[in-house]
Amino acid sequence: MSGAPILQVRNLCKAFPGVQALTDVRLDVAAGSVHALMGENGAGKSTLMKILCGLHTADAGEIRFKGQPIRASSPHEALRRGIAMIHQELLPFPNLSVAANIGMGREPTRWFPGWIDQAALARDATRVLARLACPLAPQRRMKDLSVAEMQTVEIAKALAYEPGLLIMDEPTSALSEREVEALFSVIRELQQRGVAIIYISHKMDEIFRIADTITVLRDGRHIATRPASELNEPQLISLMVGRDLAPTPAARDSRGDPALEVHRLTQPGKFRDVSFTLHRGEILGLAGLMGAGRTDLVNAIYGLAPASSGAIRVHGKDVKITNPAAAIAAGIGLVSEDRKQFGLVLPMSVQHNLTLSSLRGRWIDQRRERALADAQIRAFALKVTGRHQAVVHLSGGNQQKVVLAKALLTEPDILILDEPTRGIDIGAKAEIYALINRLAGAGKAVLLVSSELPELLLLSDRLLVMREGTVTAELDSHQTSQEQILIFAMPA
């Protein structure tokens, strides 16, 4: 299964202004093996991968690929040598076809240079999609696809280069069960052909299913490299975190007055006749598959895309929420699933992002703003160089904490969390779980949307399950199971 190292990394160092991202990192990846790279957000995984695929240049150290020293200076150069990467953040060309996206950069030509052979382009796309067991039509526009389908196209795009080393950064974060299975079988097929794979994921079960070897990074340093068979989950977590995680606090049993009542909320094509009640001090989970309408529902409650009919009551009073400003005024806060689109102003500083929703009055009280920002940075243990650091330079977990901290600064009574732990590491996850519990304990009403069933079962008091835009079940979290939830979530 494994052979000689196809990739050897030695003493790699990389610094960014204010951060030493990597210090003397080493990594050996054998041809035909799946090598999992683990570490908390900010541990240096992304930086290492970006250097390998030519997006960054290392300050010091050596990289050998197939025995050749390389200093890839551009993604193009890395691809030419056979290193392809599937990024966690999708980078599609939304107005081009699936085939054009897959073939981007190596379009087949005919007749004369630069004339794209559209038929061959579509043929190549179909062939590589077939290997992924994906029935997408190559002429469809990217923007019409679901996130999962786009992810599949990204994978197809990387495969089309026939790479010797394929880097996958959280490839399954938006995939359904079936699609994950298809991806794994592709990975196994690639392995047999001698392709080396570096696999980054926060999902432990995936790691232990697919990885041959595991390397752990922490704070930009190499911590350990072990065969996957010699590690178990708690051992791996303690290597990543550098300490044992405190167990998650137990659920509360108090339930207060109704805080949010939703009555027959309908948005044609998205969701219909959704009714539920959320109480003070309660965590209400919202389960369902991708496309079940959960995000559309919470966006409607928050006024991002108001529902066409139905009623919303807050603390027993009817409220009309036509935009987010009205929702904030009614005491509703939202942490969106898409933090880059709705949560953060990336070029702005941490301080300015934190206070964006909670500035009051005409003038900004600079001193108070600074104090608030510093307090939130401390309370959420944000890893930043200072409150003036632009959020674009933060790791995913820290960005997510900024979004949470920002929503909490508006002092909402009702907090809607849409996939609050997507794409963040295990340590940050534990912190966020603890925080959610604390908030509910303090009497806030929490509506939690998550695709991770264990998370929902662990945190919520009650569970709503949605399927194709309607609520199909209300379950007691303490007396149900993942299997039971899936029965209500799966299309009939």
Give residues in contact with another protein (CB under 8 A).
Answer: 16-18, 302, 304, 323-325, 327-329, 334, 336, 340-350, 352, 356-357, 359-364, 366, 385-386, 388-391, 393, 406, 410
| Residues 6 or more apart in contact with residue 24 via CB below 8 angstroms | 11, 12, 13, 61, 221, 222
| Closer of 111 and 363 to another protein (Cβ) | 363
Please list the residues that pair with 288 across neighbouring strands.
Answer: 466
**Which among 229, 203, 187, 214 is positioned nearest to 32, based on CA atoms?**
187
| Closer of 7 and 301 to another protein (Cβ) | 301
Tokens of 305: 């895309």
**To the nearest whole angstrom, how small is the minimum distance from the Cβ of residue 357 to another protein?**
4
| Closer of 65 and 302 to another protein (Cβ) | 302
| Closer of 399 and 451 to another protein (Cβ) | 399
Q: Which one-letter amino acid corresponds to residue 277?
A: T
Residue 368, CA distances (Å) to 232, 343, 359, 399, 454 in order: 47, 22, 10, 22, 40
**To the nearest whole angstrom, how small is the minimum distance from the Cβ of residue 46 to another protein?**
16
| Closer of 97 and 410 to another protein (Cβ) | 410
- Torsion of Cα atoms, 66 then 72 then 78 then 84, to 10°: 90
| Closer of 243 and 367 to another protein (Cβ) | 367
**To the nearest whole angstrom, how small is the minimum distance from the Cβ of residue 364 to another protein?**
5
| Closer of 326 and 486 to another protein (Cβ) | 326
| Closer of 68 and 341 to another protein (Cβ) | 341
| Residues 6 or more apart in contact with residue 329 via CB below 8 angstroms | none
Please list the residues that pair with 267 across neighbouring strands.
Answer: 271
Task: Classify residue 397 as exposed, middle or buried by CB count within 10 Å of its CB (0-12, 13-18, 19+).
Answer: buried
Q: In whole angstroms, what is the distance from residue 369 CA to residue 347 CA?
A: 18
**To the nearest whole angstrom, how small is the minimum distance from the Cβ of residue 6 to another protein?**
33
Task: Classify strands 309-314 and 258-267 as parallel, antiparallel or unpaired.
Answer: antiparallel
**To the nearest whole angstrom, how small is the minimum distance from the Cβ of residue 366 to another protein?**
7
What does the DSSP 8-state code read for residue 331?
A: T
**Are the beta carbons of 344 and 324 closer than 8 angstroms?**
no
**Which among 30, 65, 66 is positioned nearest to 51, based on CA atoms?**
65
**To the nearest whole angstrom, how small is the minimum distance from the Cβ of residue 91 to another protein?**
17
**To the nearest whole angstrom, how small is the minimum distance from the Cβ of residue 295 to another protein?**
13
Tally the residues of the chain. 492
| Closer of 242 and 386 to another protein (Cβ) | 386
Please list the residues that pair with 312 across neighbouring strands.
Answer: 262, 319
Angle between the N-to-C axes of helices 177-192 and 147-159, in degrees from 0 to 180, rounded to the nearest 10: 10
| Residues 6 or more apart in contact with residue 212 via CB below 8 angstroms | 1, 2, 30, 33, 34, 35, 227, 228
**To the nearest whole angstrom, how small is the minimum distance from the Cβ of residue 481 to another protein?**
35
| Closer of 152 and 353 to another protein (Cβ) | 353
**To the nearest whole angstrom, how small is the minimum distance from the Cβ of residue 463 to another protein?**
26
Q: Which one-letter amino acid corresponds to residue 392?
A: V
| Closer of 210 and 327 to another protein (Cβ) | 327
Q: Give the position of tokens 């196209």.
A: 153
Question: Both ends of the chain: CA-CA distance in Å?
Answer: 41
**To the nearest whole angstrom, how small is the minimum distance from the Cβ of residue 465 to another protein?**
26
Q: What is the CA radius of gyration of the chain?
A: 24
**To the nearest whole angstrom, how small is the minimum distance from the Cβ of residue 277 to another protein?**
25
Backbone phi and psi for residue 323, each to the nearest 5 degrees, phi listed first: -155, 165
**To the nearest whole angstrom, how small is the minimum distance from the Cβ of residue 220 to another protein?**
17
| Closer of 90 and 434 to another protein (Cβ) | 90
